Amino acid sequence: MVGNAEDAFDAWFYPMVQHEHVELIGHGESRVVYLVNGVVYKVGRPSANRYEHELLTAWRAAGAQWAPATSLWEDRDPFGEAYTVIAMDYLPDDGSDPDEATLAEIRRCAPQTCRENLHTHAGQLYLIDGVDIEVFPA
């Protein structure tokens, strides 16, 4: 499993209670991204988090090295509101050139993804936003 329930809750609740160990590191069209104790947590539209988790998990099971491991954390906050948070390892871009074959494979699965969603980390290219995936593995 990636991350833990306590850190997922801290990311979810961050706009209301700002913890020192939670850092805002990005945002997209429908989600906000936090770094908590070395793990990325994406907060926002539950359907986007479920979709990303499902697709990245399926591609990883099919052998795609570019699909990072994820965990889905779902619960209710103290006010009874349901939340869904996806967690993945923090994979900062190290600036190295991406492998062209891996890039071509990602482009077949997520043809509309933008460069900001592709990170090369420790020599491996990753798609860090699985919401862009349009194709399930065969």
Residue 22 lies in a domain: yes
DSSP 8-state secondary structure symbol assigned to residue 90: -
Residue with tokens 């329930």: 5
- Is 116:93 a contact under the CB 8 Å cutoff? no
pLDDT tier, 77 (very low <50, low <70, confident <90, very high otherwise): confident
pLDDT tier, 14 (very low <50, low <70, confident <90, very high otherwise): confident
Q: What is the pTM of this model?
A: 0.93
Residue 137 lies in a domain: no
Residue 138 lies in a domain: no
Residue 59 lies in a domain: yes
Residue 118 lies in a domain: yes
Domain that holds residue 23: 5-132
Residue 84 lies in a domain: yes
Residue 107: predicted pLDDT: 96
Tell me the DSSP string of 49-62.
HHHHHHHHHHHHHT
Which domain CATH number covers 70? 3.30.200.20
| pLDDT tens-digit map of 21-69 | 999 999 988 899 999 999 999 999 999 999 999 999 999 999 999 999 9
Domains contained in the chain, number: 1
Residue 75 lies in a domain: yes
**Bigger pLDDT: 18 vs 92:** 92
The two structure tokens encoding residue 100: 């062209």
Residue 17: predicted pLDDT: 72
Q: Does an H or E element contain 31, and which?
A: strand 31-36
